[in-house]
């Protein structure tokens, strides 16, 4: 059995012990189960890659929430200004991610961030077309997407 299944079992055990199957209780069980697995990993033979991936996925989620906040403020500010500063362009972002799930996650995270929208991926899956609302410097926008979202998604799925 893999570590994620162990963690889910521990979360449901926690919920059963507390007698509360709410999201908060299950989340608490996941956190406590994660800690228990971390401590007992050498004894039960849990792969350390699970803990690294959970850390990276959490970091990606926090990064996305930060980018979501910043871009929402930027778009709202531009909409409220008497003289907008937007300079929309369609940019070509070369992709380093290769699997379907990685490409899907990158494109969805970009589309969920206000001010950017994933348009299409080329058939060879090497380029992503993105509509950027603030593309004064397309190269800087490409670098930001590659060094941010794409790099973190790639790290989550590294072995």
Domain ranges of the chain: 3-47, 50-156
pLDDT for 93? 95
pTM higher than the cut 0.85: no
The predicted model gives 102-110 an average pLDDT of 96
Confidence of residue 108 (pLDDT cuts 50, 70, 90): very high
- Between CA 99 and CA 97 the distance in angstroms is 6
What separation in angstroms does the CA of 65 have from each of 29, 82, 110, 112, 130?
A: 23, 28, 12, 10, 20
């Amino acid at each position: 059995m893999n570590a994620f299944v162990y963690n889910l079992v521990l979360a449901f055990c926690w919920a059963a012990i507390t007698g509360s199957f709410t999201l908060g209780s299950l989340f608490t069980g996941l956190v406590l189960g994660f800690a228990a697995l971390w401590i007992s990993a050498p004894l039960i033979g849990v792969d350390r890659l699970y803990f690294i991936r959970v850390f990276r996925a959490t970091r990606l989620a926090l990064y996305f929430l930060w980018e979501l906040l910043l871009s929402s403020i930027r778009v709202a500010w531009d909409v409220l200004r008497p003289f907008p500063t937007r300079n929309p362009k369609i940019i070509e972002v070369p992709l380093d991610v290769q699997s379907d799930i990685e490409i899907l996650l990158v494109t969805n995270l970009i589309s969920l961030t206000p001010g950017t929208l994933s348009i299409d991926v080329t058939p060879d899956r090497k380029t992503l077309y993105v509509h950027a609302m603030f593309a004064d410097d397309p190269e800087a926008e490409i670098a930001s997407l590659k060094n941010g979202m794409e790099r973190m998604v790639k790290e989550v799925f590294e072995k």
